[in-house]
Amino acid sequence: MTVHHPQTPQFFLTSPSACPYLPGQAERKVFTHLVGERAPALLDLLSQGGFRRSQNIAYRPACERCRACVSVRILVDEFSPGKSMRRILAKNSDLVGRMSTPSPTSEQYSLFHNYIDHRHARGGMAEMSVLDYAMMVEDSQVDTRLIEYRRKGPDSRFTTTSDGELLAVALSDVMADGMSMVYSFFDPDEDQRSLGTYMILDHIERTRRMGLSYLYLGYWVEGSKKMDYKIRFQPQEHLSPKGWERYQG
């Protein structure tokens, strides 16, 4: 009989399902639960092996015939934005980002629902209710932060009460060696702002100010247009069978 120590994580394998990134491929994931006092340390360890977090679950791809998903992290101390990224920062200089403990609101959910309807109407999140959204935000036993990006009010330097319209939200974890962007969404009517890129740039700076080394961006899939944006943030490391290696693309 196999006996599992209560402090030892148990891993499980999902059934095959359609891959959301590569047509004709099937995906499987290996996952474990992040619970109790050891959850932060376990997430730190698993992130080194390419795992990601969703609520209280850590997972990574375990596909039988495909290894296209590659874990990516940005080297924040070496990163310097290029000309186009500096333009995006300037275009969003009228925004202020407030970091806090995760707390869902109806305003966030309205923005989330609008984003999903415009960008991922056929995806798995299209049917998420207010309760589902609240669980996504709150169900974490690690150090998770929520950042709201709003138009600056006249007194934004001195108080949060004068901040204006909510344009974007990021849910991110703080780990021992870096930040990990878990999920982000934004106003789809503000395409000209490139808010997705802006939030990554803002996270790079936040990670640097915290004295941490990496910003984890999840998985990059070569050939997937959904993932192309991640490769623009250089320098970065990719997780290979030999460990984390500097990307030489």
> What is the distance between the alpha carbons of residues 180 and 218, in angstroms, rounded to a whole number?
8
Indicate if the pLDDT at residue 175 is higher than 60: yes
pTM of this structure: 0.91
> What is the residue-averaged pLDDT of the chain?
92
CA atoms within 13 A on the CB side of 1: 3
Q: Over range 91-95, report the average pLDDT.
A: 97
5 in a domain, yes or no? no
Do both 174 and 57 map to the same domain?
A: no
Q: How many domains does the chain have?
A: 2
The whole-angstrom separation of Cα 133 and Cα 104 is 8
If asked whether residues 62 and 108 sit together in one domain, one would say no
- Beta carbons within 8 Å of 187's beta carbon, 6+ residues apart: 111, 114, 115, 167, 168, 195
Q: Determine the length of the chain.
A: 249
- pLDDT tens-digit map of 121-160: 666 787 899 999 999 999 999 999 999 999 987 665 555 5
CB atoms inside a 10 Å sphere around CB 178: 21
Is there a domain that residue 66 lies in? yes
Question: Which of the 8 DSSP states describes residue 8?
Answer: S
**Tens of pLDDT, residues 23-80:** 888 999 999 999 999 999 999 999 999 999 999 999 999 998 899 999 999 999 999 9
Of 6-15, 34-43, 224-233, which range is least confident?
Answer: 6-15
- Rounded distance between C-alpha atoms, residue 40 and residue 36, angstroms: 9
Tell me how far apart the alpha carbons of residues 232 and 47 are, in angstroms, rounded to a whole number.
22
146 or 20, which is more confident: 146
What would the mean pLDDT of 217-229 be, rounded to a whole number?
90
Write down which residue in 51, 70, 89 finishes a domain. Answer: 70
Res 7: pLDDT: 64
What pLDDT, on the 0 to 100 scale, is given for residue 160?
A: 56
Residues 135 and 171 occupy one common structural domain: yes
Domain harbouring 179, CATH code? 3.40.630.30
Residue 19 belongs to domain spanning: 12-70
Q: 195 and 91 share a domain? A: yes
* Domain identity same for 216 and 107: yes
- Mean pLDDT, residues 10-24 taken together: 91
Residues 56 and 150 in one domain: no
> Could you tell me if 54 and 130 lie in one domain?
no
- Amino acid residing at 217: L
Mean per-residue pLDDT, 224-249? 92
CA distance 102 to 143: 10
